Amino acid sequence: MIMENHNQRISVFWGWHWPGGVKAIKTLEKEGAIKVAAWFGPAGECTHSIDEVVYQCKLGEAPFSGDANHISSIVSDGFITFLDMFSRIPLAQGKPVQELGHIFHLYIDFFSSLLIRNRVDVVFLQAPPVFGPDYVLYRVAEALGIKVVITYQSLFPNRFLYIENLDDFGVFDGIQPYEEAYDYDPTEDSRNGYFYIEQPKPVKHHCRASLIADLLKLTTSGRRKPNTLAGVFQKYQECRNFQKFQSQRELSEVDLDRPFVYFPLQLQPELTTSALGDGYADQLSAVEKVRELIPDDWLLYIKENPKQRYRQRGEYFYRRIDRIPGATLVSRGIDTYKLMEKARFTSVVTGTAGWESICSGRPVLVFGRPWYMSFPGVVKFREGLQLSEITETTVDPVELKETFRELTRKMFPGVVDPDYIEIVEGYSDGNNAVLLERFIKTVTGFA
């Protein structure tokens, strides 16, 4: 039996579909703390299937509502960001930009109608937007003045952060301290070996085998992630181009004695650049800014992410690198820590290499909004930035440790991303559900 409560928050959830999250939501709904207007995910308890909404763009049979008319122009300026995210979805492959524009506006109308007609109070996103439709949901809620709660699992066991606006990520000024400080000294080991990046081998690409498999899938019905013939051949061509140009340009031996800047690329498309890139989801735009900043005789060593696949790595990506003076694509087999150690400085959009750099006492130039953006040793790019502002930046280990401790006081206990369960000793869904219940009550003001 679900209890009635005048303080009940009408909520929309995106994700939160693993056992701990499901149990927390169902318990709070039963208590009357929340009323779920919509729940997007693969769990049986969810009201909307992620496969249908994201991968098939099945948004129901309701006609055009017009509910988005007064906010459409506000949300529409996020179209390029939507395209960057949605490029990971098979449905997007092989479609002209005009068709993708129609899909974008279908999502705007769908989410506007959902939020307005259900009088939604709060939208919960399990992570910063990454698929495209979740970004539209965020932008629509923001335009309507609806509270948005975005959680982000930290690299540290059983701790996560949250924000209510993407612009607050990396600053977290709007978040009040909640927990005791996390007992950890980031300067003790700059090579933390985080479980999800621990010396991964470069992904192997079997383009022809993938093509055959994709063509066979086209002959079957009821596919979760449908594609088109044009999309299948686009994927095949992108895969071949990635193999060809990456192998042609990667250098296995580089001169580490010459002055250089190290720029490790991040996996794309991914939320770390799409949602948190602060305008630099196009990482080569950041590389070009670095080139303008450094002396002519300095080199730029660019290293591809070992998990990178063919997406966003076409022929013209490599032709663009070719035009940047002194820019070299180095082999993914060269040790990243040696490159950081020898570089004049490291630069990233939001990558973990930046965190590792400051933990080892070296400055980092960032273009996006990494979670460590406000830490000592981090220089945020701005127009007019001088090289000396980076090279003369020092990292005080005491200040670094204290800044970290203050941030951990704003972290909530619990797991909001099931991929991080493995680093939590003695994890149980039941205990985690209790922590998540407490979090939801706190941020909705129900506690």
Per-residue pLDDT, averaged over 294-313, amounts to 93
Question: What average pLDDT score do residues 6-17 get?
Answer: 91
Name the H helices within 264-351.
271-274, 283-293, 315-322, 336-342
pLDDT per residue over 320-363, tens digit each?
Answer: 999 999 999 999 999 999 999 999 999 999 999 999 999 999 99
User: Which residues have C-beta within 8 Å of that of residue 7, sequence separation ≥ 6?
Assistant: 33, 445, 446
- Give the up-direction half-sphere exposure of residue 222: CA atoms within 13 A in the CB hemisphere: 0
Query: What pLDDT is stored for residue 222 in this prediction?
Result: 67
Query: Is the model's pLDDT at 439 over the cut of 90?
Result: yes
What does the alpha-carbon distance between residue 310 and residue 202 come to, in Å, rounded to a whole number?
Answer: 12
Contact 370, 381 (CB under 8 A): no
Kindly report the backbone phi and psi dihedral angles of residue 62, in degrees, each rounded to the nearest multiple of 5, phi listed first: -60, 140
CATH T-level topology, domain 207-405:
Rossmann fold (3.40.50)
- Give residue limits of the domains in the chain: 9-180+411-444, 207-405
DSSP string spanning 168-199?
GTTT-TT----SPPP---TTS-S----TTTSS
Whole-angstrom Cα distance, residue 311 to residue 308?
8
Give the residues across from 9 on adjacent strands: 34
For 264-270, what is the mean pLDDT?
Answer: 94
Lowest-confidence region among 133-147, 185-199, 264-278, 426-440: 185-199
- Greater confidence, 355 or 204? 355
Cα angle at 100 between 94 and 106, to 5 degrees? Answer: 140
pLDDT confidence of residue 110: 95
- Res 347: pLDDT: 98
**For the chain, how far is it from start to end, CA to CA, in angstroms?**
21
